[in-house]
Amino acid sequence: MCGICGVIGQDDGAALQPMLQRLIHRGPDEEGIYRQAGIALGARRLRVIDPVGGQQPVRNERGTVWAVMNGEIYNYRELREHLLSKGHRLATRSDTEVLVHLYEDEGFEAFRRLQGMFAVALWDHERRVAWLVRDRLGIKPLYYAIRQDEAGRGTSVVFSSEIPSLLEALPDWRLRPEGVAEYLMHLYVPGPSTMIAGVHQLRPGEAVNISDGRVELVRYYCPDETLYHHDQWTIKEASSEVLHTFEETVKSHLVSDVPLGLFLSGGIDSASLLSAIFGQSLQDPSFGNDSEAGCGHAYRKSGGGHGGAIC
């Protein structure tokens, strides 16, 4: 888990450092900043992919495209090979760097090629365009607000992985009563609104384009566009396809330069994950609570033993 934040527009980015301080718990390993006229990007990083070389923000060869990202791109190795074959020079092995080179070639269409969980802020210096992008399922959060600069220099957009960080750039913030009621009813606030007036959350598969003081929402992914309908499939064929897709998806999630683990409870979900990943990258030791309320510790003894893990 990492954290990103920034200010886009006619602003000096003075709020960036306080915003980053609020994200240290998301990215305790290191901090990175890119600041130029009209843009300030910040990242707090938790090292997972390319721990030594994967600092953020990242840029392309010419320094015309910059980005910060929270999350992971699971198909970055395939995309990296594609970029190398086209002559790109990548300075790191990080998944975030792949994004800026892919955007250099394909523009906004690059985001449609990403498989993963991510919240991205990207700055296109030549076009003076910024993008805020959230992954297809909305696994990684991203919040933003549009504000009028106090010095009268125009409109700016502030964004962050978390609302408390965002509020560092919004000193006059106030609660939105409807948002509080929504939270008490649902235990979350349905997007695009939040509990704070004027603060929005990007919805899954959504992006924000910021250019020349204009802010435009763009939906780049909708599940209905990619659903497959096979009315003639038998139960056996459907089961085989689901199993293959599940195993391939789990395999893609195991890409990491640091050790991996699994939260194993008494349910079929985590047991299925254990079965799919055992013998690949899972760390054997596990820890549990001896009480009955301890998330199925007795089950973990039998389930873990069946999978070969140490419990």
Q: What is the mean pLDDT of residues 206-235?
A: 83
Active-site entry in 2, 5, 222, 311: 2
Query: For residue range 86-122, what is the model confidence (pLDDT) as tens digits?
Result: 999 998 888 899 999 999 999 999 999 999 999 999 9
2 is a catalytic site residue: yes
CATH top-level class of 3-224: alpha beta
Average pLDDT of the chain is 85
Can you give the three-state secondary structure of the chain, one letter per residue? Answer: CCEEEEEEECCCCCCHHHHHHCCCCCCCCEEEEEEECCEEEEEEECCCCCCCCCCCCEECCCCCEEEEEEEEECCHHHHHHHHHHCCCCCCCCCHHHHHHHHHHHHHHHHHHHCCEEEEEEEEECCCCEEEEEECCCCCCCCEEEEEECCCCCCEEEEEECCHHHHHHHCCCCCECHHHHHHHHHHCCCCCCCCCECCEEECCCCEEEEEECCEEEEEECCCHHHCCCCCCCCCHHHHHHHHHHHHHHHHHHCCCCCCCECCCCCCCHHHHHHHHHHCCCCECCCCCCCCCCCCCCHHHHHHHHHHHCCCC
Tens digit of each residue's pLDDT (9 = 90 or more) over 249-305: 888 877 777 777 777 777 888 888 888 876 555 555 555 555 555 454 544 444 554
Cite the residue boundaries of each domain of the chain with CATH code 3.60.20.10: 3-224
User: Where is pLDDT greater, at 280 or 85?
Assistant: 85
